[in-house]
């Protein structure tokens, strides 16, 4: 029985019984037709199957953009990948094993988040930051007004604009101030009985420079408290605490301590975790959001909760490692790699480069980096190789920036370049 052959076990697991069975039948027909020998049926079956199962392919990110949205933003840590594997089965995601009763969904992940941000009285997790904003806008301001500065009307990418997203909830946006300057008085003049929420959005993917001003969170918070309107801050990046390397990037703890009632953030940006939206802040507000009917539609999967918890408990993520890698280390890695490529006959040089955070974070911040410069004609073959490698075209050369390539992926990068040259 060819189908039960041990050499097809892996294929049966990866492609399923039916597909392998069809390939076996066809190979057996070819054997009957005398096109192959009877002992070649297993090999012919394997050869007829796809090289890999359909699905997303792992890509080597040599763009120098640490959080590349088209490449799935943050790569997960080893701990998070392990947690995903465990969570893929049946788990206690919503069961209290000590009592046998229903438990709070994702209780341990929420506890990890609460521990990571002591400034937050309560926490909740939804599908992404956009969902967090939709939930807050719906629960706190549907049918009422949300104030937002004209300098903070952000388009987050792929044509999606935050103010349109919020308007879709039925809340009315009321713009205050101007593109470059908004004062506390602008907010004060606009707050009224119709105001459900004041929204402060971190301009995470652009910078307005020059004659600009915006009131600090503390001032805005005092105003909102005096008028009895909650203040929601969207920090975008997902930094829970200040990151010394990115002094301009806001973090949840600082905004909460400065008086924001709620903070929303993405899980898959600088936090380095899975796609999700973090909601942090005052318990009464978080509770209202959590109990709102819409919360159920924005609920996160058990896989997300598991990966988020692992990320929070072991925060040395690949994103943080890439961000903090000393430039001297990258230069050394680039020099050694270029030398090994030249030994393989590839025209490659190590060059200085500038990497960026990307993914809607730290606009204008350049991270000193090093890259391998190769012939730009390698871009296509590298992208279509196995594994695919995506670099960045720069002044007629293809740069393979090492800040976004983990050190352990270097052997794969080396052989991919050598293969692309042949």
Ligand X SMILES: *Cc1c(COP(=O)(O)O)cnc(C)c1O
> Could you list the residues that contact ligand X (CB under 6 A)?
128-130, 154, 156, 162, 201-202, 204, 234, 236, 266, 277, 360
Which is closer to ligand X, CB of 236 or CB of 259? 236
- As a whole number of angstroms, the distance between CA 229 and CA 223 comes to 9
Query: In the bound complex, which residue of the shown chain has the CB atom lying closest to ligand X?
Result: 236
Burial class (CB in 10 A: 0-12, 13-18, 19+), 51: exposed
**Cβ closest to ligand X, residue 233 vs residue 259:** 233
Give min distance, CB of 277 to ligand X, in A. 6
Q: Which is nearer to ligand X, 128 or 149 (CB)?
A: 128
Distances (CA, A) of 10 to 5, 39, 41, 149: 10, 19, 16, 57
* Alpha-carbon span 411 to 396, nearest angstrom: 25
When the beta carbons of 11 and 133 are compared against ligand X, the nearer one is 133
Closest alpha carbon to 135 in 302, 278, 275: 278
Q: How far is the CB of 202 from ligand X (least distance, A)?
A: 5
Q: Closer to ligand X at the Cβ: 177 or 236?
A: 236
**Smallest distance, Å, CB 112 to ligand X?**
19
How far apart are alpha carbons 322 and 179 in whole angstroms?
Answer: 34
Whole-number minimum distance, CB 205 to ligand X, in Å? 6
Q: What HEC string does 260-323 produce?
A: CCEEEEECCCCCCCCCCEEEEECHHHHHHHHHCHHHHHCCCCHHHHHHHHHHHHCCCCHHHHHH
Q: How far, in Å, CA of 203 to CA of 420, rounded?
A: 40
Cis peptide before 387 (omega within 30 of 0): yes
Q: Of 312 and 389, which has the nearer Cβ to ligand X?
A: 312
Tell me how far, at minimum, the Cβ of 162 lies from ligand X, in Å: 6
Q: CB of residue 228 vs ligand X: minimum separation in angstroms?
A: 26
């Amino acid at each position: 029985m060819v189908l039960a052959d041990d050499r097809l076990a892996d294929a049966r697991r990866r492609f399923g019984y039916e597909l392998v069975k069809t390939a076996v039948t066809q190979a057996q027909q070819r054997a009957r037709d005398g096109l192959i020998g009877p002992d070649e049926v297993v090999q012919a079956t394997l050869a007829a199957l796809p090289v890999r199962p359909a699905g997303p392919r792992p890509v080597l990110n040599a763009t120098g953009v640490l959080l590349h949205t088209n490449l799935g933003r943050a790569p997960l840590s080893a701990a998070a990948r392990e947690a995903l594997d465990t969570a893929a089965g049946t788990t206690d995601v919503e069961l209290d094993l000590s009592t046998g009763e229903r438990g709070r969904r994702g209780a341990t992940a929420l506890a990890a988040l609460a521990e990571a941000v002591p400034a937050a009285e309560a926490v909740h997790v939804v599908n992404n930051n956009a969902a967090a904003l939709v939930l807050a806008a719906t629960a706190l301001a549907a049918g009422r007004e949300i104030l937002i500065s004209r300098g903070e009307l952000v388009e987050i990418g792929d044509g999606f604009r935050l103010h349109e997203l919020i308007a879709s909830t039925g809340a009315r946006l009321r713009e205050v101030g101007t593109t470059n300057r908004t004062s506390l008085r602008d907010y004060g003049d606009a707050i009224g009985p119709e105001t459900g929420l004041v929204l402060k959005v971190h301009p995470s993917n652009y910078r307005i420079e020059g004659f600009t001003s915006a009131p600090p969170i503390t001032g805005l918070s005092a105003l909102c408290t005096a008028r009895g309107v909650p203040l929601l801050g969207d920090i975008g990046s997902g930094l829970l605490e200040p990151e010394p390397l990115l002094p301009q990037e806001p973090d949840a703890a600082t905004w909460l301590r400065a008086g924001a009632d709620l903070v929303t953030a993405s899980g898959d940006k600088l936090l380095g975790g899975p796609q999700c939206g973090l909601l942090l802040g005052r318990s009464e507000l978080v509770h209202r959001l959590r109990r709102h009917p819409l919360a159920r539609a924005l609920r996160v999967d058990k896989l997300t909760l598991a990966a988020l918890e692992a990320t929070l408990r072991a925060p040395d993520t690949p994103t943080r490692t890439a961000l903090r890698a000393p430039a001297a280390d990258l230069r050394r890695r680039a020099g050694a790699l270029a030398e090994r490529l030249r030994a393989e006959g590839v025209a490659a040089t190590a060059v200085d480069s500038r990497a960026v955070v990307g993914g809607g974070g730290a606009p204008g911040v350049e991270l000193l980096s090093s890259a391998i410069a190769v012939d730009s004609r390698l871009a296509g073959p590298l992208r279509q190789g196995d594994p695919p490698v995506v670099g960045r075209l720069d002044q007629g050369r293809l740069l393979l920036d090492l800040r976004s390539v983990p050190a352990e992926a270097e052997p794969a990068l080396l052989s991919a370049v050598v293969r692309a040259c042949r």
